Amino acid sequence: MEINYLREFVVLAETENFLEASDSLFISQSSLSKHIKVLENEMGYPLFDRTTRKVHLNEYGKILLGYAKQIASLQYQYTTALNNQSENIKHSITIGSIPVMAPYHITDEILKFKRENKSYYVNLIEGESAELKELLRHNKCELAFIRDEDENNDEFAKIAYEEDQLVAVLPAYHQLAQEKQISLTQLRFEDFLFLQPTSLLYNLCQQECQKAGFTPNIIYTGQRAENIIDLIEKGMGVSLLMKKPIEYLSSPKISLVDIYPKISTQIKIYYKKDVVLSQPARHFINSIQMHK
Could you tell me the pLDDT band of residue 44, with boundaries at 50, 70 and 90? Answer: very high
223: CATH: 3.40.190.10
What is the per-residue pLDDT for 129? Answer: 87
Is the pLDDT reported for residue 128 higher than 90? no
| 78 in any annotated domain | yes
- What phi-psi label fits residue 47: left (phi over 0), alpha (psi between -120 and 50 degrees) or beta? alpha
Domain boundary among 60, 85, 110: 85
- What's the pLDDT tens digit per position in 253-291? 999 999 999 999 999 999 998 888 998 999 999 888 876
| 70 in any annotated domain | yes
Domain that holds residue 205: 163-265
Q: What is the pTM of this model?
A: 0.84
For the chain, the domain total comes to: 2
- What's the pLDDT tens digit per position in 49-72? 987 678 999 999 999 999 999 998
Could you tell me the pLDDT band of residue 26, with boundaries at 50, 70 and 90? Answer: confident
Mean pLDDT of 184-193: 97
What is the per-residue pLDDT for 290? Answer: 76
| 99 in any annotated domain | no
Is the pLDDT reported for residue 145 higher than 80? yes
Domain boundary among 52, 85, 118: 85
Amino acid sitting at position 5: Y
Could you tell me the pLDDT band of residue 244, with boundaries at 50, 70 and 90? Answer: very high
What is the per-residue pLDDT for 89? Answer: 61
| 98 in any annotated domain | no
Complete DSSP assignment for 78-128? HHHHHHHH-TT--EEEEEEE-S--GGGTHHHHHHHHHHH-TTEEEEEEE--
What is the per-residue pLDDT for 97? Answer: 97
Task: Mark whether 167 and 261 lie in a shared domain.
Answer: yes
4: CATH: 1.10.10.10
Burial class (CB in 10 A: 0-12, 13-18, 19+), 207: exposed
Mean pLDDT of 123-127: 94
State in Å, rounded, how far the first CA of the chain is from the last one: 24
What is the per-residue pLDDT for 199? Answer: 86
Domain boundary among 29, 52, 85: 85
What percent of the chain shows pLDDT beyond 70? Answer: 96
Mean pLDDT of 109-135: 91
